[in-house]
Amino acid sequence: MFAYIVRRVLYAIPILLGVNLLTFLLFFVVNTPEDMARMQLGAKRVTPEAIEKWKAERGYDRPLLWNAQAEGAGRATQTVFFQKSVRLFALDFGASEDKRDIAAEIGERMWPSLALAVPVFLVGLAVCVSFALLMAFFRATYLDLWGVVLCVAMMSVSTLFYIIGGQYLLSKLWHLVPISGYQGATDALRFLFLPVFIGVVAGIGASSRWYRTLFLEEMGRDYVRTARAKGLAERAVLFGHVLQNALIPILTGVVAVIPLLFMGSLLSESFFGIPGLGSYTIDAIQAQDFAVVRAMVFIGSVFYILGLILTDISYTLVDPRIRLQ
């Protein structure tokens, strides 16, 4: 097990290098540093000197991938790629275009993101599992049929509609909660209610339907027939046997998502004005701040790989038949 985890972590290094190379290609080769300088400086102030100064300030004045003028190892290290991308491995994110330290910013913005993402995740999971269980319990009745219809309908509604509709109904019409914004401490509850509620509602359709399929699949198994043959009540079968076994694929599926909660949710954060990592990323995209986008892409892929490893470990924990080698 330990050896497996070590191997997986080592395997992550080429993947992260690949991610870095890809973002690097997207940002620097399609768009040269000169273009970026022009974009950031604005059309008016562009002079050759200003561009050179901008590049030197940010360390973009080196060659991109290979420095032929440097000596020895410097040929690979004295390049924009090494300085900008490989440093991310040491969690050295550098500064954003407005000269703020990205690492500090991330540390600060992580909390609002988590305050939104964790409740959405937990409440959403509870609601979807309960709803799916309800449909599975009343399978092949009108309740089940209409439940599935509701799920498909809810899946077909754009997330944007949930957000805009929720803001309009709860905040503007009924004045229950503020429309957007964020404050720390106890006030956070008031601001977070609406985004959490909408996050949960937007996820119900797809997840409940998926969990229902898993429950029904589990109900077709032999041990369920045996339990019924023993004379167990339907309720005991469902909660005592099926629920436990069906939770395995649900939980292992969900484990992959947990690390990504740190990344925040792009849409709801920017809609509700929550100063988390998601809105940070969106703002960076819109301001074309490549340093920030690069850092967020890197962190995102680290968490994704972490999620994959956690999924594998969770399989061995819940199912002793699976051994990692």
Residue ranges in contact with other proteins by CB under 8 A: 14-16, 18-19, 22-23, 26-27, 30-31, 35, 39, 152-153, 155-161, 164, 167-168, 172, 206, 210, 213, 253, 260, 263, 265-267, 281-282, 285-286, 288, 293, 296-297, 300-301, 304-305, 308
CB of 26 to other proteins, least distance (A): 5
* 210: its two tokens: 């998926």
In three state form, how does the secondary structure of 34-56 look? HHHHHHHHCCCCCCHHHHHHHHH
Shortest Å, Cβ 78 to other proteins: 25
The residue (of 71 and 174) whose beta carbon lies closer to other proteins is: 174
**C-beta of 152: minimal distance to other proteins in Å?**
5
Is residue 309 a contact partner of residue 5, using CB atoms and an 8 Å limit? yes
**What is the spatial distance between Cα 131 and Cα 147, in angstroms, rounded to a whole number?**
8
Q: Which is nearer to other proteins, 197 or 210 (CB)?
A: 210
The least distance separating other proteins from the CB of residue 58, rounded to whole angstroms, comes to: 18
Identity of the residue, 227 or 295, whose beta carbon is nearer to other proteins in the bound complex: 295
- Between CA 109 and CA 276 the distance in angstroms is 4
Phi, psi torsion values for 274, nearest 5 degrees: -90, 125
Per-residue DSSP letters for 232-289?
--HHHIIIIIIHHHHHHHHHHHHHTTGGGGGG--HHHHHHHT--SHHHHHHHHHHHT-
Question: Which amino acid type is present at position 243?
Answer: L
What is the closest distance, in whole angstroms, from the C-beta atom of residue 259 to other proteins in the complex? 11
Closer Cβ to other proteins, 35 or 234, answer by number: 35
| Shortest spacing between CB 266 and other proteins, in angstroms | 5
Cα angle value 237/129/204 (rounded, 5°): 145
Type of residue at 214 = L
DSSP state of 101: B
- Find the shortest distance in angstroms from Cβ 288 to other proteins: 7
Nearer to other proteins, 22 or 122 (CB): 22
**Whose CA is closest to 40, among 51, 48, 29, 30?**
51
User: Nearest distance from residue 250's CB to other proteins, in Å?
Assistant: 11
CB closer to other proteins out of 78 and 311 = 311
Q: Name which of 30 and 68 has its Cβ closer to other proteins.
A: 30
Contact between residue 172 and residue 179 where contact means Cβ atoms under 8 Å apart: yes
Nearest alpha-carbon partner for 12 in 313, 302, 224: 302
Cβ closest to other proteins, residue 255 vs residue 305: 305
